[in-house]
Amino acid sequence: MDTKPARDFKYVGRSIPIDDGAAKANGQIKYTGDMILDEMLYAQLVFSEVPHGRIKNIDISEAMAVPGVVKIYTHDNAPKTKFNSQMWFAGQNAIEDQELFPEVVRYIGDTVAAVVAESKEAAKAAADLIKAEYDILPVVIDPEAALSGNVVIHDSGNPFLTMEASYGDVAAVLAKGEGLVIEDRVETPKIHHAAMENHVCIAVPDHKGRMTVYSPCQIVYSVRLIVAKVLGLPYHKVRIIKTSIGGSFGGKQEIILETYCAYFAKELNRPVKIEFGRSASIVATRTRTKTIGYVKTVVSPEGKILARDMKHIVDTGAYTSNGRVICYAMGKKLFRLYRIPAQHYRAIAVHTNTAIAGAARGYGSPQVQTIAEINLENAARRLKIDPVEFRLKNLVHPYDADPAGGPNLGNARIIDCVLKGAKAFGWSEKWNQPKRTGRWQTGVGMACATHGNGYYGAYQEFGTMTIRMLEDGSVMLNGGLHDLGNGTVTAMKQIVAEVLDIPLDMIEAPEADTDVSPYDIGCQASRVIHVCGANAMQAAEELRSMFIREAAKVLQCNVEELLLEDGLVWNNLEPGKKMSYGQMAAAIQQKNQVELIRTITYQSPANPGSYAVNFVEVAVDTYTGFVKVLDVVAVHDIGQAINRGFVEGQIHGGVQMGLGMAITEDLAYDNKSGVARGSSFSKYHLVNAPDMPPVRVILIEEGEDYGPYGAKSVGEIATIPITAATVNAINHALDANLTILPVTPDKIMAMLTARQANQL
């Protein structure tokens, strides 16, 4: 594909405003929560108040007496169909252990009952009156304790997957005893996605027995798959329309409310809406996996990594969800960042009596790469080598092979990222400055990261798009697009506009609707720009070629004599006879009897790595444990920015999310009660705008062979390196090794107090 430099582009690389930005700002956009349909009913889910128990009885008598209540559902009158909310394609091998209303509840947030009523108020009032009695069962919250099997959450056992991947001979390297062995245990927290829009869904039945679901989702074909299964309908009887979304970060990648909504609507033959509040969105949807990592790295005295052994315990909560897939995804990322002769990776996925873990921005990479980068920083400190120099000795180079056998790494420019970022940050000066004395201690840290660009090499990776030029020269691009507020639609328009040389306002690209959109596996796996963008580019190129062929027939000239520019077409031998695209499109229809339309199924041929490094400076108050982040430099190898403003916005947002994982965010389940202490925003602490440090963004744009105009992803990798870089900076400031995240003031003060006691 074309990887020409940005200076030659007319639309690609520009910071063009998101196409629906003004409509969102002035309130014209209707989110799903704003939609009110004729005869619509409202459903309220009732959650388990115990973390583990068998339901003995559910008393709905008082609830049924509430005026406006239409029906109440429990495990007694609902289907027992098992499903897995993470499945995204037909035939996927997945453990199906969820049902709408389980008889055994496994976490506080499991669904016990649902009230469907004529109004939201009636549904909530009735739901509050439902009383459930349980035979209380033993509880296990800690994933390492869950491995013992003393408390069994599912009959199949708590650990449901143990997988390994390796290359080289780690055991042989360890046996030689020639290097220094650095060992760490690092724990990352269970966290909430915190999208502004809470979870919401509407389902509408029709007279043909079809079900239409309006959902702010990430994968319409996944929603169709699971809704059809639970309702027992063929796919053509289920229509999923992706609605405007108020953020996701992976939280709306899985099916949460759609099955309930669709089942109630089918049963009652009326539209049904379910809308969560914030607390329900925190405790009863999905979380990032809590992950405990044990890392053992062997390094030479000169700073070369000789081998690494890693074991990760992955807490997927009460049900399987994506527990199997994420373990494999974690391992793949760990092998694609450093040149390490021998690595061994082992992951154990385990159930606990906590909220279900699922997709979250980075899909396991923030957890495992945080664990690995904290360990590598410790290795550099032990060797007394500058962390920048240490990493430069070991980082991958462009087009390195994946040592585990996956696709090659592509034009990997992580070394460029480190060199340019260190200079901009002033790393050498800050790292080597004398330690401060007194209350405030400052420190710097860095971390590197990689992420993929789609599913090629692991799962099928393709999509289909249809592009049409209409009679006035405007263009319709029809694909299974999902814009999560990140500018997907605008970016696709920029790619098409660049190929066809027409303004963006002449292009329309609607979002996904399973009735009319060609198949696509959705907005996931950082595949949208690299794969969907390449699909759009190829479709536009095919349309351009067709347009030229047909225009040459109209003008009775050779295709080589045609020129296209700024929406005009002409024979270069007759420059005074220029026609607009619209005039030519109409003439092609009239004279050639041809529609200007192309449908392209694009199969991705590669899965290069996106790469990034973050540099962070912090100040730590040794009297209170408070951490203030002073400066961040974020450098990203993205091949080519399609929309520079969107890219920088993604990086700023990713930094905010990763900082939360480092120093503030944790659902913090109580080991006895199973209650998530962070079940509301008053107790779940995000990094807010006033707390954000200045973030300087540097983009490395050296092109990528198969990306559209050389582009590759940034949406997920933006949140990966910042967590470890921040923790490393805190540890540098305090000369510590804090490894249980988030590194909150109480943990810092406990460490400082223990250190002081040991010195007495």
Query: Which CATH number covers residue 123?
Result: 3.90.1170.50
Asked if residue 189 belongs to a domain, the reply is no
pLDDT-based confidence at residue 3 (cuts at 50, 70, 90): very low
Residue 194 covered by a domain: no
Q: 435 pLDDT band (50/70/90 cuts)?
A: confident
Distance of CA 759 to the CA centre of its chain: 45
Is 395 in contact with 327 (CB distance < 8 Å)?
A: no
| Six token digits for residue 692 | 């954000």
Q: Which amino acid is at 760?
A: L
Helix H or strand E segment including 307 = strand 305-315
**Pairing, β 597-603 against β 462-469:** antiparallel
Query: Cα–Cα distance between 143 and 634 in angstroms, integer?
Result: 33
Residue 167 lies in a domain: no
**Is the distance from CB of 446 to CB of 660 less than 8 angstroms?**
no
| Contact present, 706 and 534 (Cβ < 8 Å) | yes
Q: Are 642 and 708 in contact (CB under 8 A)?
A: yes
What pLDDT, on the 0 to 100 scale, is given for residue 1? 38
In terms of Cα–Cα distance, which of 570, 596, 580 is closest to 470? 596
Which residue, of 536, 569, 603, is where some domain finishes? 603
Share of the chain above pLDDT 90, in %: 98
Placement of tokens 């796919």 in the chain: 235
Mean pLDDT for 372-382 is: 98
The DSSP secondary-structure symbol of 552 reads H
d(CA 159, CA 315): 9
In contact, 179 and 296? CB cutoff 8 Å: no
518 in the same domain as 440: no
Check pLDDT > 80 for residue 636: yes
d(CA 357, CA 359): 7
pLDDT of residue 436: 83
Report, as an integer, the average pLDDT of 556-567.
96
- Considering the domain architecture, whether residues 300 and 386 belong to the same structural domain is answered as yes
The answer to whether 547 touches 584, Cβ cutoff 8 Å, is yes
Average pLDDT rounded to a whole number, residues 60-79: 98
In whole angstroms, give the CA distance from residue 741 to residue 727.
8
**Boundary-marking domain end, from 275, 304, 324:** 275
Output the pLDDT for position 6.
47
Across residues 133-152, what is the average pLDDT?
A: 96
Looking at residue 537, its amino acid is M
**Three-point CA angle 250, 255, 258, nearest 5°:** 135
pLDDT at 8: 85
Residue 165, in any domain of the structure = no
Residue given tokens 């004529």 in the structure block: 118
* DSSP line for 172-232: HHHHHT-SEEEEEEEEE-------SSPPEEEEEE-TTS-EEEEE--S-HHHHHHHHHHHHT
Give the integer Cα–Cα distance in Å for 430 and 434: 9
pLDDT tens sequence across 574-602? 999 999 999 999 999 999 999 999 999 99
Residue 171 included in any domain: no
On whether residue 1 sits in a domain, the answer given is no
Question: Global pTM?
Answer: 0.97
CA distance 749 to 733: 14
Mean pLDDT of 49-62: 98
The CATH number that applies at residue 502 is: 3.30.365.10
Query: Which residue, among 493, 451, 456, 460, has the nearest Cα to 366 in the 3D structure?
Result: 451
Q: Are residues 463 and 566 in the same domain?
A: yes
> Within a 10 A sphere around the Cβ of 512, how many other Cβ atoms?
26
Helix (H) or strand (E) holding 159: strand 159-167
Q: Clarify whether residues 464 and 365 are in a common domain.
A: no
Task: Give the domain range for residue 244.
Answer: 32-137+199-275
Phi, psi of 261 (to 5 degrees): -55, -50
Q: Mark whether 660 and 717 lie in a shared domain.
A: yes
173, part of any domain: no
Residue from 220, 133, 308, 95 nearest 521 by CA = 220
Provide the 3-class DSSP secondary structure of residue 691: helix
- Phi-psi map region of 441: left, alpha, beta (phi>0 left; psi -120 to 50 alpha): beta
For residue 421, pLDDT beyond 90: yes
Name residue 693's beta-bridge partners: none
| Residue of 702, 200, 715 whose CA lies nearest to 488 | 715
Together in a domain, 421 and 331: yes
Q: What percent of the chain clears pLDDT 70, i.e. is strictly above it? A: 99
Q: Is residue 491 part of a domain?
A: yes
**Is 250 in a helix, a strand, or coil?**
coil
For 663-722, the pLDDT digits (tens) are: 999 999 999 999 999 999 999 999 999 999 999 999 999 999 999 999 999 999 999 999
Residue 742, preceding peptide bond in cis (omega within 30° of 0)? yes
**For residue 129, is pLDDT > 80?**
yes
d(CA 724, CA 614): 9
> What total of structural domains would you count in the chain?
3
Distance CA 693, CA 174 (A): 42
pLDDT in tens, 262-321: 999 999 999 999 999 999 999 999 999 999 999 999 999 999 999 999 999 999 999 999
Bridge partner residues of 311 (DSSP): 294, 346
Residues 6+ apart with CB under 8 A from 652: 692, 695, 697
Reading the block at residue 366, the tokens are 């923030």
Eight-state DSSP code of residue 399:
T
Q: Which of 373, 511, 701, 716 is catalytic?
A: 716
Residue 356's contacts (CB-CB under 8 Å, 6 or more residues apart) are 85, 107, 285, 286, 287, 316, 317, 318, 319, 321
Q: In this predicted structure, what is the pLDDT of residue 7?
A: 56
- pLDDT value of position 465: 98
Asked if 488 and 218 touch (Cβ cutoff 8 Å), the reply is no
How would DSSP label each residue in 735-754?
Answer: T----BSS--HHHHHHHHHH
Q: 488-500 and 533-555 are packed helices; what angle lies between their axes, rounded to 10 degrees?
A: 30
Contact predicate 289/367, CB 8 Å: yes
3-state secondary structure of 343: strand
The predicted structure's pLDDT at residue 760:
79
Per-residue pLDDT, averaged over 740-759, amounts to: 96
Residues contacting residue 283 through CB under 8 Å, at least 6 positions apart: 47, 108, 109, 355, 667, 676, 679
What value does the mean pLDDT take over residues 462-484? 98
- CB-CB contact of 280 with 45 (8 Å): yes
Do both 566 and 628 map to the same domain? no
Structure tokens at 175: 């046996």
> Do 263 and 301 share a domain, yes or no?
no
Whether the CB-CB separation of 443 and 620 falls below 8 Å is answered with yes
Dist CA 618 CA 760 (whole Å): 28
Number of residues assigned to the chain: 760
Whether residue 413 is found in the same domain as residue 533: no
For residues 469-493, give the mean pLDDT: 98
- Distance, in Å, from the CA atom of 686 to the CA atom of 663, rounded to the nearest integer, reads 9
483 and 441, same domain (yes or no):
no
**Residues 310, 374: one domain?**
yes
What is the per-residue pLDDT across 102-127, written as a single tens digit (0 to 9) for each?
999 999 999 999 999 999 999 999 99
Q: For residues 127 and 230, state if they share a domain.
A: yes
Active-site residue flag, 716: yes
Which of 252, 275, 298 is at the close of a domain?
275
